[in-house]
Every structure is written in structure tokens, then in C-alpha cells.
A and B are shown apart, each in its own frame.
Chain A
Amino acid sequence: MAPVALEPEVSRELARAHGLSDEEYDRLLEILGRKPTYAELGMYAVMWSEHCSYKNSIAVLKTLPRSGGRLLVAAGEENAGLVDIGDGLAVAFKIESHNHPSAVEPYQGAATGVGGIHRDVFAMGARPIAALDSLRFGSLDKARVRYLFEGVVRGIADYGNAFGVPTVGGEIYFDPVYEGNPLVNVMSVGLVRIGETARAAARGPGNLVVLVGSATGRDGIHGATFASETLQDDQESRRPNVQVGDPFTEKLLLEATLEALRTGAVVGLQDMGAAGITCSSCEMSARAGTGMRLYLERVPLREADMSAYEILLSESQERMLLVVDRDRIEEVQQVFHKWDLPAVVIGEVTDTGLVEVYYHGELKAAVPARSLVLGGGAPVYVRQARMPAYLKQTRAFQANALPVPEDLQATFLQLLDSPTIASKRWVYEQYDTMVRTNTVVGPGPSDAAVIRLKGTRKALALKVDGNGRYVYLNPRRGAQIAVAEAARNVVCAGARPLAITNCLNFGDPYNPEVYWTFREAVAGMGEACRVFDTPVTGGNVSFYNENPQGRIYPTPTIGMVGLIEPFPERLMTADFKSEGDLVLLLGQNREDIGGSEYLAWVHGLVAGDAPYLDLEEEKRLHELLLELIASGLVRSAHDVSDGGLAVALAESCLFGNLGARVRLEDPIRPDALLFGEGQSRVLISARPDDLSAIVSRARDFQVPVQVLGTVGGDRLKINDWIDLPLEAIRRVYEFAIPRRMQAHDSAG
């Protein structure tokens, strides 16, 4: 018997309560030519939410370079981007945020973030081979922040470890601006044979629509809408909006989906994440110019009395929508049954252009598929933009007024104790970084993770990067730096940068100052991507990262994929290799402490401009370094970034367990020389015999090079400023995070 659900009367007020503006509700009335049903209102509200429609970002995103290079699928066309890496192979990858859920329920929020992005990748027919995470938290001195940090890390670990995909890299920044709004951005990278990719289109009227994976429950209803609002103080009440993850089912879904694709009977498929059945059915239909007729009573439910509205909007995890050749349904069902997963025909593809939804014989919704989706009828807005007032103050900063610390060694140790700079071992040892036995370089002694591709002479270098403080101080250059640094990182691993995915974490786009920073950051990102020839394969926008206490820095994070070939010859790592090697700097030291961790952590100042960057200079550096690595002239390469040259030197020493004696002679203030974060610099080590060859190549590429010192011993000595045994440096660097977490463990 049909459950009797009391459905509220649809009205303008109810539409507003669903987050639709009056203008949007009028548009909806016009599209349908009638008042929507309750289910239809829910469908439009979620599909036109910021999270699904990108309505306030898409106009700006379209200015990014989104095709060309080795891109096989342009951004937005499929679940994830696809890049040709030769030999008939392609890499599918994407980064996505799960910020709001993680702010409320860190463990499940982060876990389902991992699950969701992997599903996007295997929905392309690609097998996920690596994950990376970009995380932002407040200060670890706060109990709530430690709870969020602990929960997010456990969530990522438990989901990723059980799913069996290594978490190979990431980055974490700690800054008070992220206190109430942690950021959890997860990147998945998958591998697929060209020609075996799956499409997210519902082609062929008469073909069958099949729901596979977990049963549908009430979890996560309105998750997408929730992600499209500012967090409020009553966030505990939002817990039911957070989905619950089941990595075991996801693992089965992965294996079954890839096996089902091999039958050739699957016409198309799409992951079910935000907006569940609604989103997948509308988007797949719209892409193919078809429609669907769905019968919701066939959907396996966790709770028997769910309404059509709830079933359509549920964001229960570990589900996938397939369109299957009508004559070959049994083959596909057999595969899923082998993996003990339900695979239920819930409808068929039509040629009407409508998604028609029946529940126990009653028509609950009949909506034109295109009218709901991004690129179709979903609204597109260009918001008001205004340069933020704070920039006047931050740019008025005069470094000259700041005294140089007397004890630079103490300052150095203080900086190494910043959780942002310090070793993230406490985090990454909770992740399985090695499963699948392809991890050549995991977290630790390299600027980028390196994953070999079995049976080829190729490896991928992977990196996520994004310094929100830089973007706060100069949105355009800060975003350029995010791309430049990610590219520099994969170059330091010996890889040529191929393409990026981005996750754009910002505040409320209706705030003109936020929108201005967004627009500027996207412009800067586009400029950098054009210079490095790394198109944007897609990504994710997360607005509304603010709460009554404050707003995050505008934080675009970049996920970069580079190719090392031939591998292993071209592989490079950041650790010093041998006593007697020379330590060299490629690039120019500059008197620039703006936006540095040194300024923030030691002086408590977030001020100045973003660090110096010249994109052409940066590009020449990359070309030089790739050439030097290819010629076998480099023994280690490490990017100079957060914490500056002193921290880069310390890291190369610690990674290689070798000391160094260094003499810095640039005529600039010592704190800027040691800790400044001017861009386009790489610390390398090389055999003394190779020096003249390196200098000559550097001249060809117009990149400054200078000898800083020699590798050797068990101390790091920099001028007469710093002279420390490696063990003393290591203690601070390794214990900064565990010390802060343990100090409170025992206190309970």
C-alpha cells in the first residue's frame, strides 16, 4: 500500500524556505507553466542550489582555460576531467570539498568526502589509484579544533584505508580564520584505458535505468542545500544533513562497476552524490537530450515510509545510477549480484526530455531535465564585486618598521614548531599510503607524491597546494602562486605539469568583497594555467565558508598532475644524498616577507602583499630544472615555500639525514633571507663536478644560480645565525603536532 505522506502545500513562502529566490520561483512557474508539486519544488531547489548549479560561479569559471593540451574531456562535460598520458592511458582526476559536513560531523563529513570524490572518478570507468587531501583548521590550542582535526584525519583514514586506495599526499594549514570553518578538500586520481571510459549520459530511449549500491535512506537530505548556506551557530542541528559513509560497500561498488563496464552493456552511468537520484537522472538525461521515467517504489529503502520527496533528495552514499542496454540487463545484474549488491531497474530512458517520477502509480514530478541543470535552465548570476576594504590596511604594511629578531636561531626553531611548517607525520601515518604497491614517493621526502604505473615507463607526480593567506593579501597573485607552486612541486619530482583541478573555497558570494576576491583569484589562476600550459579539468566551488564569528581566507586549492617519463630515470626527490655535494639555489632571493608564515607565526601579522612572483620567470625555472634532471645533473630538488629558505634547507637535511654548511650572502635583511617566501626558487644539490654544466644551463634559461654551501656532517649551519645538530631540529619539527595533540589526550 502506498504510504500516505502529508505533503505541504506549495507556495512562494515554501519556495523561499527551500532557498529559492522569488525570481527563481517565478522562473520555475514559467518553465512548468503551473505550480510545482512538492517533489518538484524539492528537485528544483536542490538542483538550483549553489552546490549543484554553480549559479554564482559558472560565469567566472568559464574564463579559465578548460580545454587543449592533453585534455580528452573538457571541464564540466563528465564526472571528472580526463588527461591523455600516452600509451593508450588516461588519468581521470578531480578535487572536491566537504567543508560544511566536516564542520558539523568531522569524522563522517571527511569520510564521505573521500567516498564521493572516488565515486566521481570510477564513474568515469577509471580505477582510483591515489588520493590527496588539502585541509585547513584553526589553531590546535583550541579543544574544538583538535576535535575537528582528529575526526577529519580519522574519517579520511578509515574510509580510504578500507577502500584500498592510498592517501599519498596533501597539505595542512592551521590558521585561526579556519576555526569554525575547517576545509576538507579531497582529490582522487584514477587510471583508465582510452576507449574504455564511461559516459554520464542516458542514451537510447528504451534502455533501462538501474540503481545500484546501497539502499536509500533519509541521510543527507538537503545536504547540497546545506552546503549552499552560511554556517550558523545552531550547527549541531545540522547533523542529520551529513551523510554516513560505508567504505566496504564503496569497495564492492567500485569492483562491480568496473566489472560491469567491461561487459559493454552499460550505456552510461553517474555517481550519486549531492541531490541523489534527482541530480543523476536530470544530468544524465540532459546530457543525452533524452528523458527518464522512474518508479520510486522500486528503490530499495532503509526506511519503508519514505516519501517521493525524500527518496528524490536523499544523499545516501555508495549509490550509482546506470543506464543499461535493455537487452543485456541480466549480464549487468549478474555482476552486481556476484558482489552482493542490489541492482534494481527503477525506470527507463524516454525521448520526452522529461524526468517523470511515479510513486505507487501516482505522478509525483514531470520536469524538463535540461531546465534543472547547469548549462541548461539553471540560473546564472554575475554578482556585484567590490575590492575589499581590508586590502588598504594590509598593503600599507611597512616591513622596514619591523625589527629583525636578534636571535635568528630561536626564531628558526619557533617557526619549525608551527604546525603549518612542521612534519605532518602524525597525520599521514594514520593513512595507508602504500596499498596498491605503486607509491614510489609518499608523504615526506619530496615536494610531490609519485605513483608508478605498472607495466609502463611512466609515473605520475601529484600535488595539492594553496596558500589562503597569499590569496587574502592579493587574490590574483595568490591564486597564481597556488598554481605556480603546485607546478614547481611536480617539477621538483621530475615531472612535467599536465593539468590541474581546483577547489575554490570562499565566503558568501552575495558579499561584493567576497565575489571580487573570487573573480580576481580565478583570473590569476587562469593566467598561471596559460603560462604553464596546464588546463583546468574541472573541480568544485565551495561558497559560504563563513559563520557569525568570521570568514575564511579566500582559499583556492590546486590539484596538479604531472608526468614523469621515462621513469624511474627522471624521478627526483628532495632529500640531500651525499656528503660533499654542493647546495645550490636556482632563482633569486628577494627582500620579501609579505604574507609569510614567519610574519604570521612569529610576529602575529597577516600583512603586506603576497610574495613576489613573475610567471615567466617561474616558467623558465621549471624548464631549467626539468632539463637539469633529464641530464642527470641534479641529486635533490626542493621547492622554497612556507618558512622560506631556512626551512627548505632544514627539510632537505632531515629527509636525507645529512647536515649542511651554508653561507647566504644576498644583501637583504636576514629574516627575509632566511624566512621570506618569495617565489620561483628551488634548492638543489649536485656533485661538485657538475657545477659548471649547471651554471651554463642556468645561463641559457636566464635563471640565476648561486652556490650556497656543502652537504655533510650532522649539523645545519647557516652563516653565524643558525648552528644546530640535526637531531635538535628534528625534535622540534617532528613533535610540533603530536605534542599539541598529546598534551590534551591525557587531560581527557
Chain B
Amino acid sequence: MADTLRVGVVVFPGSNCDHDVYYVCKHQMGWRTRFIWHKETDLRDLDLIILPGGFSYGDYLRSGAIARFSPVMHAVTRFARKGGYVLGICNGFQILTEAGLLPGALLRNASLRFICRDVFVRVERTDTAFTSAYSPGAVLRIPIAHGEGNYTADADTLRRLEESGQVIFRYVTADGRLDPEANPNGSMHHIAGLLNDRGNVLGMMPHPERAADPVLGRTDGLGLFASLAESLVGAALKR
């Protein structure tokens, strides 16, 4: 029986934030953490799967467009359909949209440039497995690092996402206001992070694993990992 969360971090060829999130899960959270090679298909030993940032398969075509066809993604899709928890960060978010696990798409940043800097995001809901440790409306300082993070969806999808409260993080000013200046990449509705309708798959462009260590000067991402610990360890124990 698991006495701790069992986490898998997928390694696609070209993933480059895999070790970063692994470090937080294993060494800071103390979770039982392993890497999942992109050709693996048996994920039954896991409670949480993380799709890390990077440039899967080089992303020369369109971010995530090739990764969605990899053997592991078929397994991740099955895992999610059974209610398993999946977190996609940056390239992971892009892959989740390409794979149809989350709606919409991430287009090139409005500036047409790669952007790496701290942004502020507001936590829109705290009744989810990914955000329960945050206080409602909390504003987090978390870095982004992407060239394609401009969230786009058709009007119906956006309306549905808003109505069902699936927008979890929004780009805001330091004091929590929605302002075009605070939207780094042109995302519709300032969307920085999105939950699926079942509440077990989260995709986000900001990098919580880069804001999880006091020595690096940023800790606002830790709440996400703390939320997962709080929400899932109990669930894991019950299995």
C-alpha cells in the first residue's frame, strides 16, 4: 500500500524540465517519484502523472503535435479517463490540448517572441485537487518560459469553460487585476491554467516547479504541490 504519492514524470525526447519537477516531487515533497520513458505504456503504479516542460520531439512542427502520438500519451489518456490525475506544465499543457485532454490550443505569443520572466497569476478556484492549499483569489508570482502560450479557443468553448469554472489560473497584475498589460502572451480571457471538466487534468503555462525553492527566490508554486499532497495522499492511501 502506498504511504505517499506515487508520481511519474514523462520524459519525451526533448523534454527539458523533467528533472526540475522530478526534483521538487522527490526531494522537496518526498513523493515516490520516477521517470516515465515516452515508449512506456503501463502506468498503473501511479497516482499522478506530470507532463513536463521542454520541446518534445523538437517541437519543430507545432508544440505537442508529435508528442500526442507517442505510446505514452495513449496510456496517459487512458489513465486520465479512469480518473487518474495529470498535470501538464508548459509543453505539457500544449501536449494536453493537442491530445484532446484539454480544449483549445496554445498559439505563438502575441509578441512572436519567446518570453521568460516572472508573471502574476490569480488562483480562480481553490476547491480543486491542484489548488486546495491556496487561499481564494491568491496572486502568485511564477515564471513563464515559452514561445507558444497564447491560449485560444472558440467562443462556445470559452463560454463553457467559464460557466463550469475550469479556468484555474489567470494572468493578472501584481495586485490581482485583469489588465491587458499583465497578459504576457495574448491569451484569451487571460487564461494561464485550465482544468478539464472532471477536475483531474490540469494544464498550465507557468512553471510551478521553478517557484518552489526559497533559495531561488520564488515559492508561490509550492502551493500547487502542497495541494496535490493534501488532496491525493488520502486518496492514494484508500486504494
Contacts and interface: CB of A to CB of B under 8 A. Distances in A.
Interface of A: 157-158, 161-164, 246-249, 251-252, 339-340, 428-440, 452, 454, 568
B16 A437 contact: no
B116 A434 contact: yes
A360 to B, nearest CB: 33
B161 interface: no
B58 A247 contact: yes
Contacts of B55: 161-162, 164, 247-248, 251
Given A437-B213, A437-B216, A431 B54 contact: no
A430 B116 contact: yes
Given A162-B58, A340-B13, A440-B216, A434 B19 contact: no
Contacts of B42: none
B108 interface: no
Which among A252, A340, A432, A568 has the greatest number of chain B C-beta atoms within 10 A? A432
A431 B116 contact: yes
Nearest to A429: B117
5 contacts: A248-B59, A432-B145, A434-B145, A437-B20, A439-B216
A247 B56 CA distance: 11
Contact of A339 (B13, B53, B212, B216): B13
Given A440-B216, A454-B23, A158 B114 contact: yes
A429 B58 contact: no
A434 B221 CA distance: 14
Contact of A432 (B59, B114, B212): B114
B16 A164 contact: yes
Interface string B53-68: 1110111100000000
Contacts of A439: 216
Nearest to B56: A248
A568 B215 contact: yes
Complex A-B, nearest 4 residue pairs according to Cβ-Cβ distance, in ascending order? A164-B16, A248-B58, A162-B55, A437-B20
Given A251-B16, A340-B13, A437-B209, A157 B143 contact: no
B190 interface: no
Interface in B89-108: none
B115 interface: yes
Contacts of A163: 16
Interface string B146-164: 0100000000000000000
Given A162-B14, A251-B14, 10 more contacts: A161-B55, A161-B116, A162-B58, A246-B58, A248-B57, A251-B16, A251-B55, A430-B114, A437-B23, A438-B216
Contacts of A252: 13-14
B113 A430 contact: yes
Contact of B13 (A161, A246, A248, A432): A248
Contacts of A430: 113-116
B116 A248 contact: no
Contacts of A433: 116
Contacts of B117: 429
Given A161-B145, A162-B55, A248-B57, A435 B16 contact: yes
B57 A435 contact: no
Nearest to B24: A437
Nearest to B60: A248
Contacts of A428: 116
B19 A436 contact: yes
Nearest to B21: A437
B17 interface: yes
Contacts of A249: 58
A430 B112 CA distance: 10
A333 B16 CA distance: 23
A157 B114 contact: yes
Contacts of A436: 19-20
Nearest to B16: A164
A473 to B, nearest CB: 37
B210 interface: yes
A444 to B, nearest CB: 10
Interface in B196-239: 207, 209-210, 212-213, 215-217
A434 B60 CA distance: 22
Contacts of B24: 437
Which among A162, A433, A454 has the greatest number of chain B C-beta atoms within 10 A? A162
A428 B115 CA distance: 9
Contact of A440 (B20, B58, B217): B217
Nearest to A436: B20
Interface string B1-25: 0000000000001101101100110
B216 A435 contact: no
B40 to A, nearest CB: 12
Contact of B20 (A246, A435, A452): A435
Contacts of A164: 16-17, 54-55
A251 B56 CA distance: 11
A212 to B, nearest CB: 15
Contacts of B216: 434, 437-440, 452
A222 B42 CA distance: 49
B215 A452 contact: yes
Which among B24, B53, B117 has the greatest number of chain A C-beta atoms within 10 A? B117
Contacts of B212: 437
Contacts of B14: 162, 248, 251-252
B153 to A, nearest CB: 26
A436 B19 CA distance: 7
A452 B19 CA distance: 15
Nearest to B184: A429
B9 to A, nearest CB: 13
A152 to B, nearest CB: 14
Nearest to A438: B216
B58 A434 contact: no
A157 B114 CA distance: 8
Contacts of A158: 114
